Chain A
Amino acid sequence: MKTATLLMLCLSAAAWAERPELSASFGFASELMTSSQYDLVSADDPLRMYRVAAAGTFAAPRGHVDVELGWRSGAASATAHGTLSSSLWVRGVDVSAGYRFAWLKHLEPYARAGVGLDWASLSLTGSSALEQTVLHPSGTFLGGLQFPFALGVGAPGGLAFVVDLGVGYVVRPAYTFDALAPPPPSGRQEDPIARGAVNLGSMPLSGFTWRLGVTVRL
Chain B
Amino acid sequence: MRRLLPLLVLAACGTRGSLYTSPLKPLPLVATQGALVQVVPQTNRAVVVTGTTPYTQTVTLSSGARAAVAVPGTDTVAVLTGAPKAPTLDLVDVAGLSATVLETPGFFDTVTFSPDGRFGLLTYVAAARGGQLVARNLNEVGLLDTASLSLRRLQLDTESLAPRSVVFGPVEGARRLVAVTLERGVAVLDALHPEVPTRRISVRPQGSTGDTPVLEAVFSRDAHWLFLRVSGQDDVVAVELGSEVGAPVSASVNFVAGGRGLADIETAPEGTDDAVLAVYASSKEAFLLDARGIQDNHRRLSLTDVAAHVARMTGTTVLLWNEGSRTVTAWDVKDGRSGVVALDGVASAPLVVPALDKALFPLPQVSSSAGTGPALATVSLTDDTNRVRLHLQGVQLAQAFAASAYDAQGQRLFFSVAGSSTVVSMDLRTLQLVELALDATPQRLFYLPGTDLVAADHGALLGDVTFAPAGTSDRAGALRLSDFALSGDLQRPEDAR
| A positions within 8 Å CB-CB of B | 30, 32, 34, 36-37, 39-40, 42-46, 78, 80-84, 86, 124, 126-128, 130, 145, 165, 167, 177-180, 182, 191-203, 208, 210
B423 at interface, CB cutoff 8 A: no
**How many pairs of A and B residues are in contact by the CB < 8 Å rule?**
145
A34–B16 Cα gap in the complex (Å)? 10
Residues of B within 8 A of A43 (CB): 16
A130–B56 Cα gap in the complex (Å)? 14
Distance in angstroms from B422 CB to nearest chain A CB is 13
Distance in angstroms from B491 CB to nearest chain A CB is 3
Residues of A within 8 A of B483 (CB): 84, 124, 126-128, 130, 180, 198
Residues A44 and B490 in contact, CB atoms below 8 Å apart = no
Contact digits for B455-497, partner A, Cβ 8 Å, 1 yes 0 no = 0000011101010000000011011111110111111100001
Residues of B within 8 A of A45 (CB): 11-15
Residues of A within 8 A of B475 (CB): 191-193
Residues of B within 8 A of A82 (CB): 21-23
A37–B460 Cα gap in the complex (Å)? 24
A129–B4 Cα gap in the complex (Å)? 41
Residues of A within 8 A of B53 (CB): 196
7 closest Cβ contacts across the A-B interface?
A45-B14, A201-B490, A201-B491, A196-B481, A128-B482, A127-B460, A82-B23
Residues A81 and B20 in contact, CB atoms below 8 Å apart = yes
Residues of A within 8 A of B497 (CB): 36
A76–B346 Cα gap in the complex (Å)? 57
Which chain B residues in 21-50 approach chain A with CB under 8 Å?
21-24, 49
A80–B19 Cα gap in the complex (Å)? 9
A179–B483 Cα gap in the complex (Å)? 12
A127–B488 Cα gap in the complex (Å)? 18
Q: Which of B14, B22, B54 contacts A197 (CB 8 A)?
A: B54
Residues A198 and B56 in contact, CB atoms below 8 Å apart = yes
9 contacts between A and B (CB under 8 A): A30-B12, A36-B492, A40-B489, A81-B21, A126-B462, A128-B464, A167-B8, A194-B480, A203-B490
B438 at interface, CB cutoff 8 A: yes
Q: Which of A84, A130, A194 contacts B479 (CB 8 A)?
A: A194
| B positions within 8 Å CB-CB of A | 1, 4, 8, 11-17, 19-24, 49, 53-58, 438-439, 460-462, 464, 466, 475-476, 478-484, 486-492, 497
Residues of A within 8 A of B19 (CB): 36, 39-40
Known pairs A32-B14, A127-B461, A193-B480; A199 contacts B8 (CB<8 A): no
Distance in angstroms from B459 CB to nearest chain A CB is 9
Closest-by-CB residue of B relative to A203 is B490
Distance in angstroms from A50 CB to nearest chain B CB is 16
Distance in angstroms from A32 CB to nearest chain B CB is 6
Residues of A within 8 A of B56 (CB): 196-199
Known pairs A36-B497, A44-B15, A194-B478; A81 contacts B490 (CB<8 A): no
Residues of B within 8 A of A124 (CB): 483, 486
Closest-by-CB residue of B relative to A42 is B16
Closest-by-CB residue of A relative to B12 is A46
Q: Which of A44, A193, A199, A210 contacts B487 (CB 8 A)?
A: A199
Residues A199 and B11 in contact, CB atoms below 8 Å apart = no
A44–B10 Cα gap in the complex (Å)? 11
A199–B486 Cα gap in the complex (Å)? 8
Residues of A within 8 A of B488 (CB): 199-201
A127–B497 Cα gap in the complex (Å)? 26
Closest-by-CB residue of B relative to A177 is B490
Residues B58 and A182 in contact, CB atoms below 8 Å apart = no
Residues of A within 8 A of B55 (CB): 178-179, 196-199
Residues of B within 8 A of A84 (CB): 462, 483, 486
Q: Which of B12, B13, B23, B476 contacts A81 (CB 8 A)?
A: B23
Residues of B within 8 A of A126 (CB): 460-462, 483
Residues of B within 8 A of A36 (CB): 17, 19, 492, 497
Residues B11 and A208 in contact, CB atoms below 8 Å apart = yes
A78–B11 Cα gap in the complex (Å)? 19
Residues of A within 8 A of B489 (CB): 40, 200-201
Closest-by-CB residue of B relative to A43 is B16
Q: Which of B21, B22, B439, B481 contacts A198 (CB 8 A)?
A: B481
